[in-house]
Amino acid sequence: MVAIITGDIINSDRYAASEWMDILKSYLGLQGKTPSDWEIYRGDEFQIRTTPERALSMAIQIKALIKSIKNLDVRMGIGLGSETFVGSSVSQSNGTAYQRSGRIFETLKEQKLNLAIVTGQADKDDTLNLMLKLALNFMDDWSTVSAQMVSLTLAKPEASQQEVADQLKIKQSAVSQRLKRARMDLVLDLLAYYNDNLKHIKA
């Protein structure tokens, strides 16, 4: 089973591509090789191949990175499933994971949603997407400061608040406040819930 993330940048026309593209490419470059594992195309759309275990945390990390730039956001559809054809690039490969990701992504704008998932198991999809919808209530409203804090925490989950404070040259109490405002505890709960449910999802 693989996971495919299909996405695009919201409000990308307000900025020069270099302002967000370098951030996205830098992150994706650490996750795999282009174009076999990830690809950016049509200016502001992208597709990523990853594992089901990493898919949601990767999507939230990308959201946090993009939202660290004022007025930008990202829309993503995650599909879990099989991979039946491996092309020269991720966008030319195929399988149920690719089809599910592409189809759910195409519905997001109309649904006014920025993140959704399809696993192929309707009962799991309903529950996971309800959880995502509730989480988007605060994730869509992250300030640039909150988004930066989420990004740092997901990138270095073992780092203490003091280490993060030293990196940002702020007080530890300020880190604590920013994490609270970002609802980081709920983000981690959501990721734990997702990973627990993965055990019951089959390709």
Cut 0.85: pTM above it:
yes
User: Would the pLDDT of 196 be above 70?
Assistant: yes
What pLDDT score does 157 carry? 93
Mean pLDDT of the 83-106 span: 96
Residue 42 confidence class, pLDDT cut points 50, 70, 90: confident
Model confidence pLDDT, tens digit, residues 51-85: 999 999 999 999 999 999 999 999 999 999 999 99
- Give the whole-angstrom CA distance, residue 178 versus residue 185: 11
Q: What is the mean pLDDT of the chain?
A: 96
Per-residue pLDDT, 45 = 96
How far is residue 46's CA from residue 48's CA, in Å, rounded to a whole number?
7
How far apart CA 81 and CA 200 sit, in angstroms, is 13
Domain spans of the chain?
2-198
Give CA–CA dist 181/184, Å, rounded.
8
Q: What are phi and psi of 200, to 5 degrees?
A: -105, 10
| 203: pLDDT strictly greater than 70 | no
Q: Residue 17: its pLDDT value, please?
A: 86
pLDDT tens for 113-165 read 999 999 999 999 999 999 999 999 999 999 999 999 999 999 999 999 999 99
The amino acid that residue 30 corresponds to is: L
Angle at which helix 161-168 crosses helix 144-155, to 10 degrees, equals: 120
Name the band, by pLDDT with cuts 50, 70 and 90, for residue 201.
confident
Residue 64 near residue 199 (C-beta atoms within 8 A): no
Sequence-ordered alpha helix ranges (H) in 32-121: 52-67, 96-111
Backbone φ and ψ for 171, nearest 5 degrees, come out as -75, 155
CATH topology of domain 2-198: Alpha-Beta Plaits (3.30.70)
